[in-house]
Chain A
Amino acid sequence: MYIRDFGLDTITLAGTLPGKLAAIREAGFSQVMLSARDLATHAGGVDDAVRIVKASGLRVTGFQVLRDFEGLSGHLHGYKVDVAKSMIEMCTALGCRVLLACSSTSQHATGDPDAIARDLRKLAMLALPHRIKVAYEGLSWGRHINEFTTAWQAVVRADMPNLGLGIDSYHIFATKTPLAALADLDAEKIFLVQLSDFMWNEVRTPEERMATARTFRVFPGEGVHTADLAGLVVRLDRMGYAGDYSFEVFNDDYQAMPMATVAARGHRAAAWLAEDVLRRAVPLPNAGRLRPLTTREPF
């Protein structure tokens, strides 16, 4: 585990796409998690946004976020397929290999496990020719799926090689899902881990979870779940997770601070996790594992 395995989500910073990329790079990160909004709102248009991202030298960790895809029917389903295709095309243009999809919050979405699995399968099939993996994340205010445990059941039921899990520490702490349940997952099917903490001990209702998630997350090491967060990362590392970590820190205060200041806080969190938490976690001699070559594809 190295500091280069950590990246920053653009949504964590306020400002323009070129400004965000520069701040992330200058803070010392080598990768960035992009949002579709970064491209769509870029003044020079999507093609220019792609050019800027490629010129930044930052590796694209993943692309977010496809919402409310599964469980819909009829014209709603058709509409979401169009949205998914558009995101897959943007993801492809960026040379990005992971698309994040989060569990449905829609009242119109069915909870039928077979319908959910069929839709996730279709989403993965849409992504497949583009060499894109779909990381499915259980939002803590998801209508039917709101924990990584149930998200994992849906992934297993859908059974597509390029469909796996996106893990987000915020949602795990919000729902108080026991970390021991991670033992049921296949580490190779975790395609992305997003990390953040928050300042409250409890977020009981879905409304409270959503409000906190969207306005008051903080970087790892800055919140009240520091021990759990360290425990999560150590568990993931021990179970063989060799993918990326990205900091997804929606925070209204950070939106009103200089990008360089916020990115520097993010880098401090990466240093803490890589150098303190995880170094402590691998004291055993000869227990190190080599990262497979194929998990990294250069641009």
Chain B
Amino acid sequence: MTPTEDREALVDVSNPMGMEGIEYIEYRTARPQALGQVLELMGFRPIARHRSREVLLYRQGGMNVIINAHAGTGLSAGSGGGVSTGPGSGGGAEPGGGAATPLSDSPTIAALALRVRDAAAAHRRALDLGAWDVPVRVAPMELHIPAIHGVGATRLYFVDRHREFSIYDVDFVPIPGVEQRPPAVAGLRWFGVVQYIGPGRTNDWIEFYKAIFGFTELGEDRATGVLPNGRVLVSPDGSLHLQLIEPDPLADDGVERLQRVAFGADDVPAAATALKARGVQFVETARLHVDSRGALTQSWFGGLMFELVHQSGPVA
């Protein structure tokens, strides 16, 4: 620890990265229109296109979703840096290695962009602690968004200028005549992400999120989520829940990835009713069905699904 870093004792130790919410969640897919249709069922509206790449911005309420169908990797920042997802190599995560991931038909969660107080400071802190940098390769006049590698082939971006202006004003062109701030269906907001992890990997990933971001673990008696499996962490600002789930060794490939997004809702049955009216179907079995705690949509394209989680009052 250099003397300079010692002076950063002023940093809030309970929120060492200065997390302030989720800027966007990015999906990658070879079939952006198919994914776009599903997002529209879920209440999102396409509002802008990337200036130079096959990338679309969807929004509802305070949630931004990016669909990336660009054949390279990543969004504006860090693209082409090279993360290869390799189930064959038995883990998926290969930060820093190899060629661009080929796009698959089934959408995958490719990145979480986190709002932080100071993106450069957050990025530097993460690297000091042993995170892997995502090499930056931006086109002229595009934003440079610092990032680290997350689970599998995913990235974690750090965005800090969300108060002063919209990062999308730089790289995106609004779709003409489209409401730029469509309201959220049934007040939906980000709740978190379900992360699938390898066997015996729970403690590793808990340490990753605790040490770098200051996540804390919710107790066993937590009443969140539609499925009781795994362990749940929450970010220091309360904006992001992560549910870590180890595989059933007999039934799962064990590949590590971000599996699905969960939305928070004040009233889950009401939100489910509103989404059903839009054409969304929910899993209804004896074990798993729409109830006041949560709900799980049926899956599209063999794996894309969304979860609703009861949450009292919007976070921050």
Interfacial residues, chain A to chain B (CB-CB below 8 A)? 85, 89, 92-93, 95, 118, 121-126, 128-131, 160-162, 293-294, 297, 299
A-B contact pairs, 18 of them (CB 8 A): A85-B132, A89-B94, A89-B96, A93-B94, A93-B97, A95-B91, A123-B130, A124-B130, A125-B211, A125-B212, A126-B130, A128-B205, A129-B95, A130-B93, A131-B90, A131-B256, A161-B203, A293-B249
Instruction: Choose from B90, B204, B211, B212 the contact partner of A299 (Cβ within 8 Å).
Output: B90
CB-based contact A129/B93 at 8 Å: yes
Instruction: Choose from B90, B129, B205, B249 the contact partner of A294 (Cβ within 8 Å).
Output: B249
Instruction: Choose from A85, A93, A95, A128 the contact partner of B204 (Cβ within 8 Å).
Output: A128
> Counting CB contacts under 8 A, is B131 at the interface?
yes
Q: Contacts A92-B97, A122-B129, A125-B131 known; A161 to B90 CB distance under 8 Å?
A: no
- Report chain A residues within 8 Å CB of B172: none
Within 8 A of A (CB), among B75-131: 89-91, 93-97, 128-131
Closest A residue to B205 by CB, please name it: A128
Cα A160 to Cα B211 with chains together (Å): 10
- Report chain A residues within 8 Å CB of B89: 92-93, 95
A-B contact count (CB 8 A): 70
Cα A162 to Cα B205 with chains together (Å): 10
- Report chain B residues within 8 Å CB of A126: 130, 132
Give the 3 A-B residue pairs with the shortest CB-CB distance, closest first.
Answer: A125-B130, A161-B203, A122-B130
Which of B7-15, B22-30, B194-202 participates in binding chain A? B194-202
B175 to chain A, nearest CB (A): 36
CB-based contact B200/A128 at 8 Å: no
CB-based contact A128/B94 at 8 Å: no
Cα A162 to Cα B128 with chains together (Å): 18
Cα A169 to Cα B165 with chains together (Å): 61
Closest B residue to A162 by CB, please name it: B204
- Report chain A residues within 8 Å CB of B132: 85, 126, 129
B198 to chain A, nearest CB (A): 6
- Report chain A residues within 8 Å CB of B249: 293-294
Cα A161 to Cα B95 with chains together (Å): 20
A297 to chain B, nearest CB (A): 7
Closest A residue to B148 by CB, please name it: A129
B266 to chain A, nearest CB (A): 35
Cα A85 to Cα B148 with chains together (Å): 14
B246 to chain A, nearest CB (A): 9
Closest A residue to B150 by CB, please name it: A129
CB-based contact A130/B95 at 8 Å: yes
Given contacts A92-B94, A95-B89, A131-B91, 12 further A-B contacts (CB under 8 A): A89-B94, A93-B97, A121-B211, A122-B129, A122-B130, A126-B130, A126-B132, A128-B205, A129-B93, A161-B207, A294-B200, A297-B254
Cα A130 to Cα B97 with chains together (Å): 11
| B89, B130, B206 — most chain A CB neighbours (10 Å) | B130
Closest B residue to A130 by CB, please name it: B93
- Report chain B residues within 8 Å CB of A122: 128-130
CB-based contact B131/A130 at 8 Å: no
Q: Is the interface of A mostly helix, strand, loop or mixed?
A: helix
CB-based contact A129/B151 at 8 Å: yes
Q: Contacts A124-B130, A297-B90 known; A131 to B208 CB distance under 8 Å?
A: no
Cα A24 to Cα B133 with chains together (Å): 38
CB-based contact A161/B204 at 8 Å: yes
Closest B residue to A159 by CB, please name it: B207
Cα A160 to Cα B206 with chains together (Å): 10
Closest B residue to A160 by CB, please name it: B207
A156 to chain B, nearest CB (A): 15
> Counting CB contacts under 8 A, is B149 at the interface?
yes
B201 to chain A, nearest CB (A): 7
Cα A161 to Cα B212 with chains together (Å): 15
- Report chain A residues within 8 Å CB of B91: 92, 95, 130-131
CB-based contact B149/A131 at 8 Å: no
> Counting CB contacts under 8 A, is B286 at the interface?
no
| A85, A93, A131, A297 — most chain B CB neighbours (10 Å) | A131
Closest B residue to A93 by CB, please name it: B89
- Report chain B residues within 8 Å CB of A89: 94, 96-97
- Report chain B residues within 8 Å CB of A297: 90, 199, 254
- Report chain B residues within 8 Å CB of A85: 96, 132
B228 to chain A, nearest CB (A): 21
CB-based contact B150/A125 at 8 Å: no
> Counting CB contacts under 8 A, is B251 at the interface?
no
- Report chain A residues within 8 Å CB of B90: 95, 131, 297, 299
Closest B residue to A293 by CB, please name it: B249
Closest B residue to A74 by CB, please name it: B2
- Report chain A residues within 8 Å CB of B131: 125
Instruction: Choose from A125, A130, A162 the contact partner of B129 (Cβ within 8 Å).
Output: A125
CB-based contact A131/B95 at 8 Å: no
> Counting CB contacts under 8 A, is B316 at the interface?
no
B104 to chain A, nearest CB (A): 21
Closest A residue to B90 by CB, please name it: A95
Cα A101 to Cα B51 with chains together (Å): 47
A59 to chain B, nearest CB (A): 11
> Counting CB contacts under 8 A, is B1 at the interface?
yes
- Report chain B residues within 8 Å CB of A162: 204
CB-based contact A294/B199 at 8 Å: yes
Q: Mark B149-173, 1 if CB is under 8 A from A, else 0.
A: 1110000000000000000000000
Instruction: Choose from A118, A121, A131 the contact partner of B1 (Cβ within 8 Å).
Output: A118
A88 to chain B, nearest CB (A): 8
| A126, A128, A294 — most chain B CB neighbours (10 Å) | A128
Q: Mark B207-248, 1 if CB is under 8 A from A, else 0.
A: 110011000000000000000000000000000000000000
